Structure 1
Amino acid sequence: MPLFDDINVRNNDLVRKGMAGAVFVADLATPALTAITDTTGALVVVPAGWSPFGWISEDGVAWPRETEVSEIYGWGGAEPIRSDIRRATKRMTVTALETSRTVLEEFLGQDLSAVITASGGEGSFDEAPLPIFPYRRVLVIARDTAAGGEYYRGQMFLRAKVTETAEQTWQDSDTPVTYQITYTAFQDADEGTAVRHFFGGPGRVPEDEGFPADPGS
């Protein structure tokens, strides 16, 4: 008869954290990434066309998921006799800390390419009555540490749109000016998906995660 410890298989090395991370946005015309690491496990250079957010809040990023379920009940039954997921909405929320053109354009839904800095160093623009949030690509890469080296986790929205922004507070305290932005993922017709996941780095052991290694590698 097995003991509890014999059947309770656990692996501390599979408990992951996002120790640091980066957020990038790009136009839909920018080629979508197919990998975030090379054949040695090292991070690839993020291609041209992807703009970084820079510093984000210590809250990191959140990935809310919402599902809509249709259930059918039978006469006299206590539980549903059929359940179907009708919709699955994926979102990503990030709070940017840097005031940059990239962040402002995402937060305000406005093209700021025409803003010119005056000789005294000042810039100004009029905010549009209504924001126009174009479809974008969004990439998040997080880093963790592992016994064999760094471990990278990535997630990309192939076709995303800003669907919510939070209020700002300007004050004399430990709270900086922030830009909280929520993106919703949509199906990309060319790529055939809305969300792409990445796992890599020299600290990753695919077999421990239950994924077989490439037999050709």
Structure 2
Amino acid sequence: MPAWETLKKHQNELIRKQLEGSTFIAPITSSAISTLTGADKALLALPAGYNDVGWMSDDGAQFSSDVSTSDVTSWGAVEPTRRDITSDVTTLQCVLQETNKQTIGLYTGVDMSAVVPDPTSGEVAVSKPDRPPLRFWRVLTIGVDLSDAGEIYMARFLPRASVSDKGDQAFSNGDDPTAWDVTLTGYMDSTLGYSERFYFGGPGWEALLTSMGF
């Protein structure tokens, strides 16, 4: 029998963290993300319409999955004999710290393309709709890690997402800034055929392909 030190394969260089990152949103009419990096392993420019929502809280971009199942139980079995996934929903929650056109629009549900500052005072007024329409966005979150070979990019793309919840907002002079806390839920894009896609790339990623088993 092989010794434990021979049998195990622990590779600390494969442990990833997202040291920094950004979330980008675009109107649903914008092109979907098809490729994150180019032949030189560098990030490609994003399609027209994608805008960075800016600084987020230390929690970063929090992805959650809500999976529901349906079980079949059978006579004599002490555990389900069949299990089917009936729902698998991804949500993205982020506390946006910048006050800008993107964050105001996400939080209020207002179409900001029609909002213009007062030509004299620069004041902006936004009226909360009585029944906000369900607005859909393309949402891309990119996290960046570092390795000896360079940057490693891990991204999650929601091709069709909408704001499904928002947190409280405090006006105060405490340590926390005025924030725009939103939760986006991903849905199936019928044209693309998926509700979420993961991307991995960068020079650091390419250098570790063999170690990761690819």
TM-score range, shorter chain: over 0.9
Q: How many residues are matched?
A: 211
Deviation (angstroms), 1:58: 1.2
Deviation (angstroms), 1:151: 0.4
Indicate the RMSD between aligned Cα atoms, in angstroms. Answer: 1.3
Alignment-mate amino acid for residue 153 of structure 1: M
Equivalent positions of 1:41-80 (< 5 A) are: 41-80=41-80
Structure 1 residue ranges, 4+ long, deviating more than 6 angstroms after superposition: none
> Contact between 1:110 and 1:133, CA under 8 Å: does it hold in 2?
no
Deviation (angstroms), 1:27: 1.4
> Contact between 1:27 and 1:137, CA under 8 Å: does it hold in 2?
yes
- Mapped to 2, the partners of 1:120 and 1:160 lie a distance apart of 35
- Mapped to 2, the partners of 1:125 and 1:72 lie a distance apart of 51
> Contact between 1:60 and 1:94, CA under 8 Å: does it hold in 2?
yes
Q: Deviations over 1:151-206 (max 9, x none)?
A: 00111001111111111111111111111111111111111111111100110122
Q: Normalization by structure 2: what TM-score?
A: 0.94
Gaps of 5+ in 2: none
Q: Normalization by structure 1: what TM-score?
A: 0.92
Give secondary structure in 2 for the equivalent of 1:198.
Answer: strand
- Mapped to 1, the partners of 2:135 and 2:156 lie a distance apart of 20
- Mapped to 1, the partners of 2:41 and 2:203 lie a distance apart of 5
Q: Deviations over 1:112-150 (max 9, x none)?
A: 233332323322232222322311110001100011001
Gaps of 5+ in 1: 212-217
Cα distance, 1:29–1:125 mapped onto 2, change above 3 Å: closer
Structure 2 residue aligned with 1:88: 88
Deviation (angstroms), 1:24: 0.6
> Contact between 1:14 and 1:209, CA under 8 Å: does it hold in 2?
yes
> Contact between 2:149 and 2:204, CA under 8 Å: does it hold in 1?
yes
Structure 2 residue aligned with 1:190: 191
Cα distance, 1:12–1:93 mapped onto 2, change above 3 Å: same
Q: Deviations over 1:26-69 (max 9, x none)?
A: 11221111111111111111222111101111111111101111
Equivalent positions of 1:150-169 (< 5 A) are: 150-169=151-170
Counting aligned pairs with the same residue, the percent is 31
> Contact between 1:165 and 1:181, CA under 8 Å: does it hold in 2?
yes
